[in-house]
Structure 1
Amino acid sequence: MNHSRASILKLGQTLIVSVQEALMDADLTGLRDELVADVKKYRAACVVIDVTVLDVLDSFAARTLRHIAQMTQLLGARTVIVGIQPDVAFAMVQLGLTLEGTDTALDLEDALSLLNVKVG
């Protein structure tokens, strides 16, 4: 996937999704479908989804991210969502939106450390 809104980079057995701009519902479902297919295709062990650029995560986005993590886990890949901004985290908690059961990390470096992925 190399669309303007998100890209998927393969690093060994890890897929790194970099969200470049706000995602509409159709973009999220497209990303979900492509990412799940890529996990199977590349036999990925880990997935990192970087949402640093997002200044809002609505209920559909939060639910879709949670579903992606559950789907990839069923395929044998552990998923970590990184880069949730403090204001976004605050709003999500206020609205009762959670990523329950999904690993999160502050940034890409923390996620790769959490996943024991060696770089370099």
Structure 2
Amino acid sequence: MQTHAKRKHTGAGVSAATLEERAAEVEAAQQRKREAAAAAAAAEAARRVPFDEFSMASRLKAYAALYARALQGLLQAQADAMVERFGAPPEIRTLLRSMWFGLLPLTGLLDFDMAARSAI
């Protein structure tokens, strides 16, 4: 059994809270319909775009190179902070750069052959 406030009324005696709840439910239902329509439109647009393996591979290569450059930038910033803030010798920059170039091939970030990656 529902309470009086939760019943769906269409006539007089309907509380303002019930009307607000109903309006909120209707708005939420409309929002779900809009989101479903947008998702369906996006899925249809994705189906219309042909898959280009070469384009995907070139984008992945660019992302991997960008990621490697970002990691290298972070390592340089850490080396600079070690020298400037903590008084480490400036030669630590060269040491960290050598370590980075030694570690980079081992990570496989720049190895774009998936068969070679799965063999490791």
Tell me the TM-score normalised to structure 1 length: 0.22
Tell me the TM-score normalised to structure 2 length: 0.22
Structure number with greater CO (CA < 8 Å, separation at least 6) is: 1
Higher strand share: 1
Query: Which structure has the greater CA radius of gyration?
Result: 2
Higher helix share: 2
